Structure 1
């Protein structure tokens, strides 16, 4: 589970409820009609904007923000270096047996293309095409939640306008003006909460996850092509480390140093 998402939601609810209770009664911020206008209107408008399948898949993507993805660029580089050592010692055909221990479908496909003797440019084209379509699917889902973040405040404003119209119809009763105005503004509050507490943060988290996955696949493509070109494993390692941030690069170097020390101790 992604602890940051859970903590963020719990903290947000806690601070919002605390602020409301400090200012007054919780019930004064609850209005069923406003919920129907904002939530119902936002969902209806989103359903109009997207085909049913994409609409449902994008809604289901909310679970991804709670999922702790196992995307480890350092581990991927280590796996590629292991494959390069196998190819250097036993030849490219020996990589076919190594694919039995590879769980990542993208990496496995690339290795099998190399084993089949596919032209390097064609290998790059196939893998980059698949990566591009993965990124497009990710962008569609991100766009859905960004669209929610745009629609919710708009529907909040629509609810406010409806409330103002109702208020103006009862202007002959001064006592009803305050409560009517309060209800009118609640829809704006709901729309802002949906946008800024849910939709936009979800889109941001999905964008980060997508960037991490695409980076990992770029590392795999470059590593596989280097293996096919017969480059030295040490050269491949240094080339792939260029994709990493300084922190990740240092962590990888520390891990390799620790592993080397353990191997010497066992020897």
Structure 2
């Protein structure tokens, strides 16, 4: 569980609500179902229009990464690579056959199997780099739905504000209806700008960071497998891979 994401949302929303209270306002005045439907419904519709079904569904699934990121243990990658390099250096690449079945990650398993099958370093790197590129593009396209939502929400909020003002203008002769129209107008703007800057855009940026970390881990594995294929010394391989996680 990524606590910083949870605390970030809580702190951001709480600060706005607290500010509303300190200014003498009421939290209930920010709760407008009409404004919510206009902004969130309009934003979702716009994002769906620009997306394919696989991209949209993949983007929704990625939301889980923000609060529960995929496991990423770079030091374990180094340990596994060094272990395999020691086996290969002592008994040859074919001796790694017994280790393939115990690998859970499909990408790593594919690379290790190609290594055992005697793939040349250039072929091995080309195949794995191609898979990394495809993986990165697919994940980034999925993450873009949140970035797009962050772009559409403020504009949809303005539309909600205009609709509220139209309602006000239509009921100038009835003062009892003016308050609700003005409330929808301003709250819709708050929802649009707030959802974009407190949720949609931060989610998109967090996903980009997580995707980049996944790509780095895969690059580490590729470099390690290529080094094993080239018969490099395990200590040299370890030193090389440590460069990926230098802080």
Alignment TM class, shorter chain as reference: over 0.9
**Is the 2:97–2:116 contact (alpha carbons within 8 Å) kept by the matching residues of 1?**
yes
How far apart, CA to CA, are the structure 1 residues paired with 2:22 and 2:182? 21
* Structure 2 unmatched runs, 5+: none
TM-score under structure 1 length normalisation? 0.86
- Are 1:155 and 2:144 counterparts? no
How far apart, CA to CA, are the structure 2 residues paired with 1:60 and 1:225? 33
1:196-238 deviations in Å (ceiling 9; x for gaps): 1111111111111101100001011011001000111111111
TM-score under structure 2 length normalisation? 0.93
The 5-angstrom pairing of residues 18-33 of structure 1 reads 18-23=18-23, 24-33=25-34
The 5-angstrom pairing of residues 1-267 of structure 1 reads 1-23=1-23, 24-172=25-173, 180-246=181-247
How far apart, CA to CA, are the structure 2 residues paired with 1:62 and 1:7? 16
**Is the 2:62–2:143 contact (alpha carbons within 8 Å) kept by the matching residues of 1?**
no
1:152-184 deviations in Å (ceiling 9; x for gaps): 111001111112222233345678656543331
Q: How many residues get paired?
A: 246
RMSD, aligned CA: 1.8
**Is the 2:160–2:184 contact (alpha carbons within 8 Å) kept by the matching residues of 1?**
no
How far apart, CA to CA, are the structure 1 residues paired with 2:118 and 2:91? 15
Give the structure, 1 or 2, with the largest relative contact order (CA under 8 Å, sep 6 or more): 2
How far apart, CA to CA, are the structure 2 residues paired with 1:142 and 1:73? 23
How far apart, CA to CA, are the structure 2 residues paired with 1:174 and 1:119? 80
How far apart, CA to CA, are the structure 2 residues paired with 1:149 and 1:20? 23
* Structure 1 unmatched runs, 5+: 247-267
